[in-house]
């Protein structure tokens, strides 16, 4: 094996491991996304960061089929994974990932607040490919984006459309989580219990107040 082949092989192995980590996460790609959004990327050691960088690269491919179909960005991520890397042999820089994280979090807040959010793709090209003569299949639409980071956003748009109702911020501890049930408000039973206990104490207090006289505030505590 030449040095180039060796490097390409090692890249492929790391990439496949990252893919597997995403697929084996609880809630799969959505679960990975929510963890990524809440990871302090600047606090990671170089080794830890590299694992995440491979995951970011793998995420856009892992979600491809389910979230938005084919995307062909004109360039890869900014860090070459091997010498003379092809587009698929690149990973994001920490700066690129930080930008994505900030952008996506901002959109998520807007989505929660307004019920919608708007992503802009300034240099988007759509390519329609014929399925071939005599084929019963539908043609393929390929989205061609200028920057690789836009492909991540494109996947997120579709992921949000499909799962957004279940992506929430816990009102008690502010963690962003993926709800199991539609009526699940809190990230964990622990948060729910804490709120219930507080409500119970408060309702007990206001009960006392009612008995002793409305408007006559009892001391705090
Ligand atoms: Zn919580």
CA of 197 to the centre of ligand 1 (A): 14
- Is residue 68 in a domain? yes
CA of 38 to the centre of ligand 1 (A): 13
| Predicted local confidence at residue 221, as pLDDT | 43
CA of 92 to the centre of ligand 1 (A): 31
pLDDT by 10s per residue, the chain, length 221? 899 999 999 999 999 999 999 999 989 999 999 999 999 999 999 999 999 999 999 999 888 878 887 888 888 999 999 999 999 999 999 999 999 999 999 999 999 999 999 998 877 788 888 988 888 888 888 888 888 899 999 999 999 999 988 999 999 999 999 999 989 999 999 999 999 999 999 988 866 655 555 544 444 44
- Is residue 206 in a domain? no
CA of 115 to the centre of ligand 1 (A): 22
Ion ligand 1: residue ranges with CB closer than 5 A: 170, 172-173, 175, 187, 191
- Is residue 128 in a domain? yes
CA of 200 to the centre of ligand 1 (A): 18
Cβ-contact 67, 158 below 8 angstroms: yes
The rounded distance, in Å, linking the Cα atoms of 94 and 45 is: 11
- Is residue 203 in a domain? no
- Is residue 204 in a domain? no
The rounded distance, in Å, linking the Cα atoms of 10 and 16 is: 10
Number of domains in the chain: 1
| Predicted local confidence at residue 51, as pLDDT | 98
The rounded distance, in Å, linking the Cα atoms of 193 and 108 is: 26
- Is residue 111 in a domain? yes
pTM metric for this prediction: 0.84
CA of 145 to the centre of ligand 1 (A): 37
Dihedral (Cα; 25, 12, 40, 72), 10-degree rounding: -90
| Predicted local confidence at residue 175, as pLDDT | 97
The rounded distance, in Å, linking the Cα atoms of 73 and 166 is: 29
Q: Which domain holds residue 37?
A: 3-187
- Is residue 66 in a domain? yes
- Is residue 26 in a domain? yes
């Amino acid at each position: 094996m030449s040095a180039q082949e060796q490097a390409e092989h090692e890249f492929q192995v790391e990439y496949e491991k990252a893919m597997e980590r995403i697929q084996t996460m609880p809630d799969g790609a959505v679960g990975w996304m929510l963890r990524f959004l809440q990871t302090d990327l600047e606090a990671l050691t170089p080794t830890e960061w590299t694992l995440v960088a491979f995951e970011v690269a793998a995420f856009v491919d892992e979600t491809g089929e389910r979230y938005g179909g084919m995307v062909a960005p004109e360039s890869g991520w900014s860090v070459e994974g091997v010498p003379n890397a092809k587009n698929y042999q690149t990973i994001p820089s920490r700066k690129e990932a930080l930008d994505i994280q900030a952008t996506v979090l901002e959109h998520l807040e807007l989505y929660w607040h307004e019920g919608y959010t708007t992503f802009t793709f300034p240099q988007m090209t759509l390519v329609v490919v014929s399925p071939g003569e005599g084929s019963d299949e539908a043609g393929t639409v390929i989205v061609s984006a200028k920057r690789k980071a836009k492909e991540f956003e494109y996947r997120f748009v579709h992921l949000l459309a499909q799962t957004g109702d279940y992506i929430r911020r816990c009102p008690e501890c502010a963690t962003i989580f993926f709800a199991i049930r539609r009526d699940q408000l809190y990230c964990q039973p622990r948060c729910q219990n804490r709120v219930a206990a507080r409500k119970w104490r408060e309702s007990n207090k206001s009960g006392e107040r009612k008995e002793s006289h409305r408007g006559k505030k009892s001391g705090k505590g």
